[in-house]
Amino acid sequence: MTENEIRKGLAGVVVDTTAVSKVNPETNSLLYRGYPVQELAATQPFEAVAHLLWSGELPSPEQLAELRRIEREHRALPDNVRAAIDLLPLEAHPMDEVRTAVSVIGASDTAGGGSVLDASGSPEENLARSIRLYAALPAIVAYGQRRRRALDPVEPRDDLDYSANFLWMTFGEEPDPVVVDAFNRSMILYAEHSFNASTFTARVVTSTLSDLYSAVVAAIGALKGPLHGGANEAVMHIFDEIGSAENVVPWLEAALAEKRKIMGFGHRVYKKGDSRVPTMKAALDTLVEHYDRPDVAALYTALEHEFVSRKGIYPNLDYPSGPAYNLIGFDTLTFTPLFIASRVTGWTAHIMEQAGSNALIRPLSAYNGPDERHVEGYVASAEERAAAQRAPEVE
Ligand SMILES: CC(=O)SCCNC(=O)CCNC(=O)[C@H](O)C(C)(C)COP(=O)(O)OP(=O)(O)OC[C@H]1O[C@@H](n2cnc3c(N)ncnc32)[C@H](O)[C@@H]1OP(=O)(O)O
Ligand SMILES: O=C([O-])CC(=O)C(=O)O
């Protein structure tokens, strides 16, 4: 292999097949198991989309009721997870907090009488683990935000669906249906996106026959970075820096002069705009109206207009979701953990797909370090010299 053959960042490389979702940059479309994401966001509760991603089909009323029953059963913050979070400094990044919480859940899962590694290949157990994790994550994310605000945790409510209960546990107030609807749409839009960096990470870990929790923990680490999920947090920092629409032009000129990346814009696959942005922008618009914050819409539009007209690079999903989560009342540091709560469905669907048709993921590299050299004074044996002759120069 030569350096000319290398596809840096695996750009454009097709590494496997997947039946979970299809991203089509030509038609600006995104299908989950064949369904356009816009149709799912307009019609489905997040629970139904989770079922779709895991099983391949939208649930029957009975299947949805059963998923909701299990989800409600596992909604509360486990005591040992709370204790582990409480050991962390308040300044810990919430992504690290959630990553730690998932690790604790994984280490505590000894169902079947042994380490989860023993059952890493069982589809039934992995589905059960996926549902339990998905059910526990809202309480973990909500607790993190409340802990940083020095507030007591709020117990889950059995009479609320996933999205409404998530908001209830975070804010301790009856959520408005307009807000629940916008939040539910965001959860659906964030749920799945083929071989993005965090999902690919989860698949790499799974490919070694490691367990589902280890794959999710690794995926959280990949999601944290601002070139990926961390961008929704970074977008809000940019909005805070700019302040209001009239500051956009001078701010952008200075940022571009400093060669800064403008978070929330650009995408590895979509070059003509992210398929999810119009749906999330419409959800943001309902929140702008609900909270009477035309200033947010004005800043959004001004920055989008200026950046797109200067660079021809379009917003990605993190651009509208950042200000949407801010309007709902989430702390900026909580934005990427919200992404985890949603994407855990896609990650686990991919983990199960990878486990079901596994091949160890192990690419090659072209070596560009120093030529072979030797430790001063070392005299190789005849066998070692012979073996070195046989060793390939590159992988
Ligand atoms: C849900 C998600 O994870 S969506 C992604 C969220 N991430 C962000 O919003 C971070 C900001 N965006 C970016 O950094 C990039 O657009 C990425 C990482 C998402 C995609 O990157 P790639 O496909 O590798 O494209 P790459 O970074 O090489 O960009 C190509 C060119 O456009 C420029 N560019 C791309 N995005 C941006 C941006 N947001 N701001 C400024 N310039 C940008 C690059 O600097 C590069 O310019 P150059 O050719 O002069 O060096
Ligand atoms: O697909 C990607 O590279 C990033 C992305 O938009 C996502 O994970 O939702």
User: In the chain, what are the domain boundaries?
Assistant: 31-227+331-356, 232-325
Residue 88 has pLDDT above 60, yes or no: yes
User: Which CATH number does 232-325 carry?
Assistant: 1.10.230.10
Residue 286 has pLDDT above 70, yes or no: yes
Give the pairing type, strands 21-24 and 35-36: unpaired
Higher pLDDT, 365 or 394: 365
Report pLDDT for 113.
47
What distance in Å separates the CA atoms of residue 189 and residue 209, rounded to the nearest whole number?
Answer: 29
| Ligand 2 atom nearest to CA at 199 | 8
Residue 116 has pLDDT above 60, yes or no: no
Interface confidence, given as ipTM, is 0.98
Mean pLDDT (the chain, rounded): 94
Rg (C-alpha) for the chain, rounded Å, is: 23
Catalytic residues: 267, 318
Residue 121 has pLDDT above 80, yes or no: no
Q: Within a 13 Å sphere around the CA of 184, how many CA atoms are in the beta-carbon half?
A: 23
Check if 156 has its Cβ closer than 6 Å to any atom of ligand 1: no
**Residues written for the chain:** 395
Check if 264 has its Cβ closer than 6 Å to any atom of ligand 1: yes
Structure confidence by residue, pLDDT tens digits, 133-179: 999 999 999 999 999 999 999 999 999 999 999 999 999 999 999 99
Nearest residue (by CA) to ligand 1, atom 29, is 266
What distance in Å separates the CA atoms of residue 177 and residue 251, rounded to the nearest whole number?
Answer: 36
| Ligand 2 atom nearest to CA at 316 | 6
| Mutational pocket test of ligand 2: of 21, 186, 267, the residue with most ligand atoms within 8 Å of the beta carbon | 267
Structure confidence by residue, pLDDT tens digits, 226-281: 999 999 999 999 999 999 999 999 999 999 999 999 999 999 999 999 999 999 99
Check if 94 has its Cβ closer than 6 Å to any atom of ligand 1: no
Confidence of residue 305 (pLDDT cuts 50, 70, 90): very high
Distance 238 CA to ligand 1 centre (A): 16
**Identity of the amino acid at 34:** G
Confidence of residue 310 (pLDDT cuts 50, 70, 90): very high
Report pLDDT for 114.
47
| Ligand 1 atom nearest to CA at 256 | 41
Residue 377 has pLDDT above 50, yes or no: yes
Residue 301 has pLDDT above 70, yes or no: yes
| Ligand 1 atom nearest to CA at 196 | 3
Is residue 8 exposed (0-12), middle (13-18) or buried (19+ Cβ within 10 Å)? exposed
Residues with CB under 6 A from ligand 2: 193, 196, 228, 267-269, 316-317
User: Which CATH number does 31-227+331-356 carry?
Assistant: 1.10.580.10
Which ligand is nearest to the Cα of residue 10, counting in written order?
Answer: 1
